Amino acid sequence: MKIVVLDGFAGNPGDLSWEEIQSLGECTIYDRTAPEEKLGRVKDAEIILTNKVPFNASDFDQLPNLKYIGVLATGYNIIDTEAAKAHGVVVTNIPAYSTNSVAQMVFAHLLNITNSVQHYTDEARDGVWSRNPDFSYQNTLLVELHRKKIGIVGLGNIGKAVARIAIGFGMEVFAYTTKSHFQLPPEIHKMDLDDLFRECDIVTLHCPLTPKTKNLVNAERLRTMKPTAILINTSRGPVVNEQDLADALNNGTIFAAGVDVLSEEPAAANNPLLSARNCYITPHIAWATKEARIRLMQITIDNIKAFIEEQPINVVNK
């Protein structure tokens, strides 16, 4: 079985082992693959592992030996799954491996914004606190999360994990979800999307990218939010219209945003959010704790073994 890993560095920059995957066949591992290198590297492959290298219908036409693609992530929109199915190629993903890590990042952003952690660290290092006449120095508004309203858009695994943390902080939790009231615990209240944006102090996005959710957060919706509101996006970049969000931040329409994903990654130098007021950006790392990457690697191994044993699991193109 010939196995090719096209972009292994993101998930394993050297602190994990490929040995078990290498034991499953003749395995070639590339840290990164440019578009023009892709087909040459996988022309004889039976198994391809990819995180962000895409495959479309014309690619499958040129890969007669291909039997399986393992996406090294939960989202699999980089693969034309219908074309894969038409060519008899099984496609799997890695579900739920980063749930707790992403939920943790939501609150890392939220706590940094509400407590100005980085700001005060910088101030202390620059000697501002040392020169202050009082024992306590502050020049920003500090915000307590207790009893604040948090609106969760999408109540899948990550959304539910965020809700559990929010409940621990004593927040009032609302969710926009297809689940019925009867499927929700009493601490989570179902809310219409427009009402959620209008009434909540914090809105955090946990929905997949679909034609319906693209630009879900736009100028019109941002105008309905409180001027003190905080937006968190750890889902997919295009769920937010970035120019509209930058304008809303710069104009004071909303207070702040914490984002871990952008519409183009790495970030384009002219992305308006890079210079927007009170916009805190992390470079798509919410998923990337070592613990989450260990789980990703193990599920990848389990997926390949199940496929070889002709009992595939986590298939996304049945």
240 vs 108, 161, 217, 225, 248, CA distance in Å? 20, 22, 5, 14, 12
For the chain, what are the domain ranges? 2-95+290-308, 99-281
CATH 3.30.2130.10 is right for the domain spanning 99-281: no
**% of the chain with per-residue pLDDT over 70:** 100
User: Per-residue confidence at 163, pLDDT binned at 50, 70, 90?
Assistant: very high
Q: State yes or no: is 265 an active-site residue.
A: yes
Domains 2-95+290-308 and 99-281 share a fold: yes
Q: State yes or no: is 236 an active-site residue.
A: yes
User: Among the options 206, 221, 236, 295, which is catalytic?
Assistant: 236
- CATH number of the domain located at residue range(s) 2-95+290-308 in this protein: 3.40.50.720
User: Among the options 20, 144, 220, 265, which is catalytic?
Assistant: 265
With both helix axes pointing from N to C terminus, report the angle between 157-168 and 99-115 in degrees, rounded to the nearest 10: 40
User: Among the options 109, 206, 221, 284, which is catalytic?
Assistant: 284
pTM value is 0.95
Q: State yes or no: is 87 an active-site residue.
A: no
pLDDT at 153: 98
User: Per-residue confidence at 216, pLDDT binned at 50, 70, 90?
Assistant: very high
Tokens representing 155 are 């109540």
> How confident is the model over 128-152, as pLDDT tens digits?
999 999 999 999 999 999 999 999 9
> How confident is the model over 236-249, as pLDDT tens digits?
999 999 999 999 99
| Structural contact between residues 233 and 257, judged by C-beta atoms closer than 8 angstroms | yes
